Amino acid sequence: MPDEEYHEWLRREGRIVIVGASLAGLRAAEALRAGGFAGSLTLIGDEPHEPYDRPPLSKAVLLGKASPEHTELPRLRRTDATWRLGVAATGLDMTAKRVRLADGEEVPYDRLLIATGVRARPWPKEDEAQLDGVFVLRTRDDAVRLHRRLAASPRRVFVIGAGFTGSEIASACRARGLAVTVAERADGPLVGALGGVIGAVAADLHRDNGVDLRTGVTVTGLEGDATGRVRAAHLSDGSVVDTDVVVVSLGAIRNTDWLKGSGLGAGPRGIACDAGCRAFDFRGIVTDDVFVAGDVARCPHPLFGYQFLSLEHWGNAVAQAEVAAHNMISAGADRRPHLWMPAFWSSQFGVNIKSVGVPAMGEEIMITQGSLAERRFVGVYGHQGRVIAAVSFDNSRWLDFYQQQIERGAPFPVEYRTVDRRPEGRAPMPAGFPDPSLPTHGPTVTLSGYSPADRQLVFTPARH
């Protein structure tokens, strides 16, 4: 059947299956219907809940300003889908075009979208991870449990890892008046995502807000009492911190295990896809009927040297879901590339942090507006003489400009005058990213090389 005709048939009566019923899955389902897909649509999600929003889980929910039960994602249009919630996909047969489910059922598809996202990296020592009082935060159920424990006024909360989520959790705890210790292997919070210059600002932010921040240390062990409750954390510098709540915030693991043996180019860094969101098989050959979107995807980006990017960004999940949905039901010439500009936001200790581009590619940074000391500024990252990213603290209204600078490959350093340029912002300085070969748990953008097949890449978990 010619391409056009096939897609017409597909739109009319094809079968589309989406695995992963969260942000990317829901938005893709809506976009499929908006794009005229009239066939059968099935969403498979291992969580028992309707799609909900995660960013509030470490912000409003922990602060008690929003109930964890009420972060449902708004529905933008009818999906007329069959929802298989609370059941995981356990396997994929690309030849027979079937998804295997945990309950033994098999669901056939003409087009498959994989949007299984990531899960929290657990504490690596299993017996310690089992202790009562040790938490991770990725799902609504995690948030309910953690929130309940925080509401019981623990004497101290111990956060392992000061990436965005860990920092937000620390911030929420301080706002609740709880004593908090944060342990971070790098020299400051957010160093993996934003580099050492910004990390130093974040460190001051933590300390000024009463966080007991320990940097340059790792956690060597968690200690429980006789009843199996956590009671202390041991650090690599020999110190011991008494605590009754530990939140493990060591980044994420891609949910690709269920694809083992499927022949898809799926590995610990995600599922490689082309700019049109079509998945690669493990040989690096692009598939025609398997698509990927959201946190689980690795996608090449022309602005960033065509490296594959893995983005744990809300906005990316939405944009990529829309592109994937469009391309799933469109013939070749009508397909669109996913060219989303990476953008991330976080709010912690009352500061609104936003970034565009890929800071981790930056060798140098310069503060083009405002001042680090006032914690209100825009920092611009340069990579090989070009603007590659920007970050703002309480200054997000300027970021559109810097986004355009990135899109245009504008020269770095930024020589021209800007309003609110301070003497400290005249010259670039080293951005202070740790050695990229060292795994960090913080970054929300991971550059994962040029090869679509990353199965041989071994991720060494952080040794804490």
Ligand X SMILES: Cc1cc2nc3c(=O)[nH]c(=O)nc-3n(C[C@H](O)[C@H](O)[C@H](O)COP(=O)(O)OP(=O)(O)OC[C@H]3O[C@@H](n4cnc5c(N)ncnc54)[C@H](O)[C@@H]3O)c2cc1C
Q: Which is nearer to ligand X, 281 or 312 (CB)?
A: 312
Contact segment (CB under 8 A) with other proteins among 65-73, 168-176, 306-314, 413-421 equals: 413-421
248 neighbors 135 (Cβ within 8 angstroms): yes
Residues constituting the chain: 464
196 neighbors 359 (Cβ within 8 angstroms): no
Q: C-alpha distances in angstroms, 226 versus 131, 223, 229, 230?
A: 11, 10, 7, 9
* By the rule CB under 6 A, 248 interacts with ligand X: no
DSSP-assigned beta bridge partners for residue 348: 351
Strands (E) in 68-122, as ranges, are 82-85, 89-93, 98-101, 106-108, 111-114, 118-120
Minimum Å distance from CB 392 to other proteins? 11
From the number of C-beta atoms within 10 Å of its C-beta (0-12, 13-18, 19+), residue 159 rates as buried
The site map against ligand X for 33-72 (x = CB under 6 A) is -----------xxxx------xx-xx--------------
CA gap 190, 8 in Å, rounded: 48
22 contact, one of ligand X, other proteins, none, CB 5-8 Å limit per kind: ligand X
Which of 109, 398, 412, 433 forms a contact with other proteins (CB under 8 A)? 398
388 neighbors 357 (Cβ within 8 angstroms): yes
Q: Which is nearer to other proteins, 255 or 355 (CB)?
A: 355
Minimum Å distance from CB 403 to other proteins? 9
Q: What are phi and psi of 328, to 5 degrees?
A: -65, -30
Which of 18, 29, 89, 162 forms a contact with ligand X (CB under 6 A)? 89
The residue behind tokens 């510098």 is 237
* By the rule CB under 6 A, 402 interacts with ligand X: no
Contact segment (CB under 8 A) with other proteins among 204-212, 232-240, 311-319, 364-372 equals: 364-372
Q: What are phi and psi of 18, to 5 degrees?
A: -115, 125
* By the rule CB under 6 A, 268 interacts with ligand X: no
The site map against ligand X for 150-169 (x = CB under 6 A) is ---------------x----
How far, in whole angstroms, is CA 151 from its chain's centroid? 27
CA gap 229, 231 in Å, rounded: 6
Which of 69, 385, 404, 457 forms a contact with other proteins (CB under 8 A)? 404
Residues 328-387 that bind ligand X (CB under 6 A): 344-346
* By the rule CB under 6 A, 442 interacts with ligand X: no
From the number of C-beta atoms within 10 Å of its C-beta (0-12, 13-18, 19+), residue 97 rates as middle
How far, in whole angstroms, is CA 84 from its chain's centroid? 24
Minimum Å distance from CB 327 to ligand X? 17
Minimum Å distance from CB 227 to other proteins? 41
448 contact, one of ligand X, other proteins, none, CB 5-8 Å limit per kind: none
CA gap 102, 268 in Å, rounded: 21
370 contact, one of ligand X, other proteins, none, CB 5-8 Å limit per kind: other proteins
Binding site for ligand X (CB under 6 A): 19-25, 44-47, 54-55, 57-58, 88-89, 115-118, 137-138, 165, 255, 258, 294-295, 312-315, 317, 344-346
Binding site for other proteins (CB under 8 A): 368-370, 374, 376, 378, 397-401, 404, 416-420
